[in-house]
Amino acid sequence: MKIQGPDQTNKTSSSKKSSKSGSAGSSSFGSLIGGSEAEAPAHTAAASAIAGIDALLLAQESEDPTERAARKRMHERADDLLGQLDKIKIGMLTGTLSVGNLIDIADVVASHREKLKDPQLSALLDEIDLRAQIEIAKMKMALEASTMF
């Protein structure tokens, strides 16, 4: 067979082709086995390199257990603050707002706030704290105004 270009071949007689296809089939089968054995170490090396990179990225993404615990505590603190704000809202709507509500939310606001590495979470916690402090200030002003008269 003579190759004339990228997609053109010169076919010889069909009898030679059939005899060559039988021998070529067995030789190509042998070359496939030999080729896969030669390529196997290259594939294994590439797979192990990728696995090593994946492990490194996973280690970088994994969160420090102390950071995870701090996040959990701050999440609970934020939930508690939001719950206290809801109690104040309900108390204002129903007319049952008491000094106890003020003390409860003031205690939560005064509780320790940890520093977190996540800037978005810290900003959200800042907004919740600010809202709680505003409500405390408004309630203090209302209490002071009611005790003056």
Walk along the chain (149 residues) and give the pLDDT tens digit of each residue.
566 666 665 555 555 544 444 444 445 555 555 554 455 565 666 666 666 777 766 666 666 778 888 889 988 988 999 998 899 889 889 988 888 888 888 888 888 888 888 888 888 888 988 988 998 898 888 888 887 76
83 lies in the same domain as 105: yes
Rounded to the nearest 10 degrees, the angle between the axes of helix 119-148 and helix 65-94 is 30
Identify the pLDDT of residue 108.
85
What are the phi and psi torsion angles at 46 (to 5°)? Answer: -65, -40
Identify the pLDDT of residue 19.
47
127 lies in the same domain as 69: yes
142 lies in the same domain as 81: yes
99 lies in the same domain as 134: yes
Domain presence at residue 110 = yes
Identify the pLDDT of residue 86.
92
- Conformational region of residue 95, where left means phi above 0, alpha means psi within -120 to 50, and beta covers everything else: left
105 lies in the same domain as 71: yes
Identify the pLDDT of residue 23.
47
Identify the pLDDT of residue 111.
82
Domain presence at residue 70 = yes
34 lies in the same domain as 58: yes
When divided into structural domains, the chain yields a total of 2
81 lies in the same domain as 27: no
Domain boundary among 46, 62, 78: 62
Identify the pLDDT of residue 20.
47
Domain presence at residue 105 = yes
Domain presence at residue 95 = yes
Domain that residue 32 falls in: 22-62
111 lies in the same domain as 97: yes
40 lies in the same domain as 86: no
114 lies in the same domain as 135: yes
Domain boundary among 62, 89, 111: 62
Nearest to 139 by CA among 103, 107, 111, 112: 103
- How many secondary structure helices (H) and strands (E) does the chain include? 4, 2
